[in-house]
Structure 1
Amino acid sequence: MNQTTLKYYQKNGKNIAQRYESADVSDLHRVLNASFKLPGTLLELGCGSGRDAAFMAKQGFNVTAVDGSAVMIESAVYYHPELSGCLHTLQLPEELSGRFGKFDGVFSIAALMHFSRPQIETILKQVNALLVSKGNFFFSVPIQRDDIRNDEFDAKGRRFTTMTEAQWLDICRKYGFELIRSNTTKDGLGRKGIAWLNCLTKKSE
């Protein structure tokens, strides 16, 4: 992850976590829950406040969750102490390869856009290697933001790689995933000018 992006989450993680916990994600959670079958082991990339990992754990999944920001991991433990043994501070994409065994599914909510396109491609390649045969990969990324400069950063120093749905799916296919379904949704925090792409894919082999 870009260092200015990581620095932002390290500095503001507690406030960000509080905001994440207040967001209306009921629709997202319904889609997320429907994307995987019990029993199963799941890996979350970029867990933030632990909101989504905790939800999936409550559904009965065995969840491992990682985030690049130690402050966000601390916040996840604070809001969801039941996850404390399942959370790891880990830099993507460098530290993901070879760190874990296989998973039945992988998901990433509002995280992949903080990486450059080459990094995103590396992450998807690693996700494919971490999944069991025919395992599902769900991700949610902004498909529209009106606050990003031409250099792919916002005024707070965070990188946002925004691509079209077709571009995201091209990368998925390149690294061995096929689309199951996708849809776009409004922002859970009610912010105007932001729309989200939610994709469920499956490992091809």
Structure 2
Amino acid sequence: MINNTLDFYNNNSKSYIENTLSLDMSHLYKDFLKDIPKDGHILDLGCGSGRDSLEFIKKGYNVTAVDGSKELAVAASKIIGKEVIYSKFEDLQLTESFHGIWACASLLHVNKNQIVDVIKNISSNLKTNGVFYMSFKYGENEYIDEKERYFNCYTEKTFSEIINKVNNLKVEKIYKTIDILPGRGDITWLNILCIKID
């Protein structure tokens, strides 16, 4: 994740949380949670406001949350009632094993030339038959937006090309959704559910 992206989230953490904390993402939870045991351990990678971590905790799951923005990590810690690990994804080193990894609109800030290595590293902490959810903006480009945030984008085809380089992950489901933030109905998301295989 490049520094200008983190600068944006550090400098705008309060407004970002206000805009995202109350969004209802339950339509994405069902497929992710269906194969995770009721007291399973979930890694929320790029937890942002802590919105999804909070929902998983309410549902009885054990959650480890991580964010690359110091300000968001501090704020989300207060929201979810437990410490959020402050780390860039490229530097993340964890010892626990997880039944599920949730990376909702977070890995899209990792440079394309690093994305395979980051997914390999993070999936090494996933239990066999564990579920890895990730989402990206739909497309084939990479760009810097008007807020100086870096984004990488994928289609079904281009994502399949990178996930084929990760030997122990198999795509179980790949589908598109429309952004639910007001005024952003023109943005399409690519959602991927992968399973960890032996």
1:101 paired residue number:
96
Q: What TM-score comes out, normalization by structure 1 length? A: 0.88
SS in 1 for 2:6: helix
Percent identical among aligned pairs is 32
Aligned CA RMSD, in angstroms, stands at: 1.9
Q: What TM-score comes out, normalization by structure 2 length? A: 0.91
- 8 Å Cα contact 1:13-1:71 kept in structure 2: yes
- Correspondence list, 1:97-176, <5 A: 97=93, 99-144=94-139, 152-175=143-166, 176=168
SS in 1 for 2:12: helix
- 8 Å Cα contact 2:32-2:131 kept in structure 1: no
The runs of 4+ residues in structure 1 deviating greater than 4 Å are none
Partner Cα separation in structure 2 for residue 63 and residue 194 of structure 1: 29
SS in 2 for 1:188: coil
Structure 2: stretches of 5+ with no match in the other structure: none
For residues 130-172 of structure 1, the C-alpha deviation after alignment (integer angstroms, 9 at most, x for no partner) is: 1122221111221159xxxx76111110001112122222222
Deviation at 1:197, TM superposition (A): 1.4
Partner Cα separation in structure 1 for residue 39 and residue 31 of structure 2: 17
- Correspondence list, 1:16-165, <5 A: 16-34=16-34, 36-80=36-80, 82=81, 84-85=82-83, 87-94=84-91, 96-97=92-93, 99-144=94-139, 152-165=143-156
Amino acid at match of 1:159: Y
Partner Cα separation in structure 2 for residue 32 and residue 134 of structure 1: 12
SS in 2 for 1:135: strand
Partner Cα separation in structure 1 for residue 197 and residue 142 of structure 2: 34
Partner Cα separation in structure 2 for residue 41 and residue 22 of structure 1: 23
For residues 47-78 of structure 1, the C-alpha deviation after alignment (integer angstroms, 9 at most, x for no partner) is: 00000111111111111010000111122134
Deviation at 1:100, TM superposition (A): 2.5
Structure 1: stretches of 5+ with no match in the other structure: none
Amino acid at match of 1:62: N
- 8 Å Cα contact 2:36-2:100 kept in structure 1: yes
Amino acid at match of 1:161: N
Amino acid at match of 1:89: Y
